[in-house]
Structure 1
Amino acid sequence: MAESDPLSEIEFLARSPNRIEVLAALAEGPHTRRELAAAVDVSQPTLGRILRDLSERKWVEKGDGDDYRATATGRLVATGMTDLRDRLATETELREVIEWLPTESIDVDLTRFSGATITTPTQTRPNAPIQRMLELLRETDHALLLSHAFNEQKLRLIHDRTVDGDLTTRGVFGEEAIDAIAATPELRDVLADILAAEDAEIRVSADEIPVAVEVTDDRTHLLLRNDEGIVRASLDTADPAVREWAERIHERYWQGGRPVTTADLDG
């Protein structure tokens, strides 16, 4: 076949998702035509054309028997294309919230957020991101909390669950969050009860906290705000790499913070 440039080869694969699927399947191991047709769900005539096109590029070859397999360059191309496809799929998912995602503070590949649950406000549920956060807190036995702010609904839920002994939590919050609670008598009493609970520890950080993140039993949850501090979305995932990042950043601020005491609540 005539020599081609890389963009033309990308276009060749992108025009037919089946080409990518066949190449990816063969990169994983040898397949017969029957196995390929079943795995990719294409007809034999279509599969024949795909194998011919891939063979012309020396990306696949026929083995001694009925098997087809990917060549070394075929495996190279398959890895690159499937990686690009996965990255673009993640980008498409995150596109609606990326402007509020604090990427400069997240030292984990964004592909780890693929398949994350994204919750945004709607006309009928304007508070949907907060409600998703509360839902996860209701379902967990343990929670790590990190935020510059303290939502009242969240504060009261943590109060009820920690006072009843249903939740073990370690939270780090910004000074402004604690000051705002201390200035509100009814919330001051709520936080005082939390501080007295056996399985709750709250610390305050003098440093600016760049993310609002929670780690529960099964999910890592981020609350996304705009520059004015308005909640615009939430994102949660079960990905272990995201969880490890969240635990690291929580530990960093936990070690740098100081315990909140009743003296902090004196009005």
Structure 2
Amino acid sequence: METALDEIAFLANSENRVAVFETLVEAPRNRDEVRDRVDASRVTIARILRELEERNWIEQSGRAYEVTPLGEWMYDEFNSLVDEMEAEQQLREALQWFPSDLLTFDVQCLRDAEIILHDASDATALIRRIVKFHRSGDRIRGIARSAAPVFIENLWEVTVHGDAQAELVLIPEALDVIRTHPPSARQFREMLAEENAHYSVYEGIPISVGIVNGAVGINLTDEEGTLKGGLKTENETVHAWAVDLFKTCREEARPVDSDTITA
């Protein structure tokens, strides 16, 4: 008797088997109709139909083949496994830059996350997506390990010249970057003068996380601090994790004094 792994391999190792199985799940079909939909020889189609029938996953009724209840069950389970593996493949590269000690929620909470990785052919694509995310709501909270001028300008536009509420905690090095860039320093001082923008500083921020209304954006960086990608999700568990992390950092932070932001 074949093992469960053998049965999984029976389908997983043959795209033609999956294709034949799938076309019969869609509707009963005869051998010629199956061959019209699957790019395989007549001999191969006949062999696959025989193998599926031997497993009682399909049965012949007249000239047509149709999926049995057992076959529907097996197809659904196999398809679910494929979906899970595809989700894992999408997350695998991104999670190499997510500190494992911060991953205190079930990783499956990220299975539907939007993943944006750095694209060498379009170096600014990731930056544009982050800016767009910050503009997607009217309440922005977060902790940040960087403060690129483009982000400062964007926050300045949505707070000083818009109605968004912003509350962010930065690492001291981020303030140093702002000070050395006169336009950013000016914009930052103007934000600090607004009631709807609040900034503080804390040395122990472990990762950059933005919370815009009910969505969470997580910046992924390598050991040198280079931005490698980002995750965006509206999962409630991840949102609760992000809010808790933000509040923890905010409680330890000290307000930024606008007098210290001089170009």
Instruction: Give 1:148 deviation, angstroms.
Output: 2.5
TM-score normalised by the chain length of structure 2? 0.70
How many residue pairs match? The answer is: 254
Match of 1:214 among 190, 210, 213: 210
Q: 1:114 to 1:17 in 2, by over 3 A?
A: farther
Instruction: Give 1:158 deviation, angstroms.
Output: 0.4
Instruction: State the SS of the aligned residue for 1:197.
Output: coil
Q: 1:265 to 1:61 in 2, by over 3 A?
A: farther
Q: 1:254 to 1:177 in 2, by over 3 A?
A: farther
Q: 1:191 to 1:25 in 2, by over 3 A?
A: farther
> Which amino acid in 2 is paired with 1:240?
E
Quote the residue 2:244 is aligned against: 251
Aligned 1:1-267 pairs, distance under 5 A: 3-17=1-15, 19-20=17-18, 32-34=27-29, 42=38, 52-59=50-57, 68-71=67-70, 75=73, 78-79=76-77, 81-106=78-103, 107-110=105-108, 112-114=110-112, 116-122=114-120, 125-178=122-175, 181=178, 187-206=184-203, 208-216=204-212, 220-231=216-227, 233-237=228-232, 239-241=233-235, 244-258=237-251, 260-263=254-257, 265-266=259-260
| 1:44-72 residue CA offsets vs partner (Å, 9 max, x unmatched) | x8888656533422445789xx974432x
Instruction: For 1:215 and 1:240, locate their aligned partners in 2 and report how far apart those are by CA, in whole Å.
Output: 10
Instruction: Give 1:153 deviation, angstroms.
Output: 1.8
Indicate the RMSD between aligned Cα atoms, in angstroms: 4.3
Question: Do the aligned partners of 1:13 and 1:20 also contact (CA within 8 Å) in 2?
Answer: yes
Question: Do the aligned partners of 1:61 and 1:70 also contact (CA within 8 Å) in 2?
Answer: no
**Is the deviation greater in 155-164 or in 254-263?**
254-263
| 1:151-196 residue CA offsets vs partner (Å, 9 max, x unmatched) | 2221121012200124222323334434654677764443332233
Instruction: State the SS of the aligned residue for 1:248.
Output: helix
Structure 1 residues without counterparts, runs of 5 or longer: none
Instruction: For 1:182 and 1:197, locate their aligned partners in 2 and report how far apart those are by CA, in whole Å.
Output: 19
Question: Do the aligned partners of 2:57 and 2:67 also contact (CA within 8 Å) in 1?
Answer: no
Q: 1:68 to 1:84 in 2, by over 3 A?
A: closer
Instruction: For 1:112 and 1:21, locate their aligned partners in 2 and report how far apart those are by CA, in whole Å.
Output: 29
| 1:243-267 residue CA offsets vs partner (Å, 9 max, x unmatched) | 6414422333324424653537536
Question: Do the aligned partners of 2:202 and 2:254 also contact (CA within 8 Å) in 1?
Answer: no
Instruction: For 1:24 and 1:112, locate their aligned partners in 2 and report how far apart those are by CA, in whole Å.
Output: 28
| 1:126-157 residue CA offsets vs partner (Å, 9 max, x unmatched) | 34322321233244433332222322221121
Q: 1:144 to 1:23 in 2, by over 3 A?
A: farther
Instruction: Give 1:9 deviation, angstroms.
Output: 1.7
Instruction: For 2:109 and 2:52, locate their aligned partners in 1 and report how far apart those are by CA, in whole Å.
Output: 28
Amino-acid identity (%): 23
Instruction: For 1:7 and 1:168, locate their aligned partners in 2 and report how far apart those are by CA, in whole Å.
Output: 54
Instruction: For 1:143 and 1:244, locate their aligned partners in 2 and report how far apart those are by CA, in whole Å.
Output: 18
Instruction: Give 1:198 deviation, angstroms.
Output: 3.0
Instruction: State the SS of the aligned residue for 1:169.
Output: strand
Question: Do the aligned partners of 1:146 and 1:250 also contact (CA within 8 Å) in 2?
Answer: no
Question: Do the aligned partners of 1:20 and 1:78 also contact (CA within 8 Å) in 2?
Answer: no
Instruction: For 1:166 and 1:217, locate their aligned partners in 2 and report how far apart those are by CA, in whole Å.
Output: 14
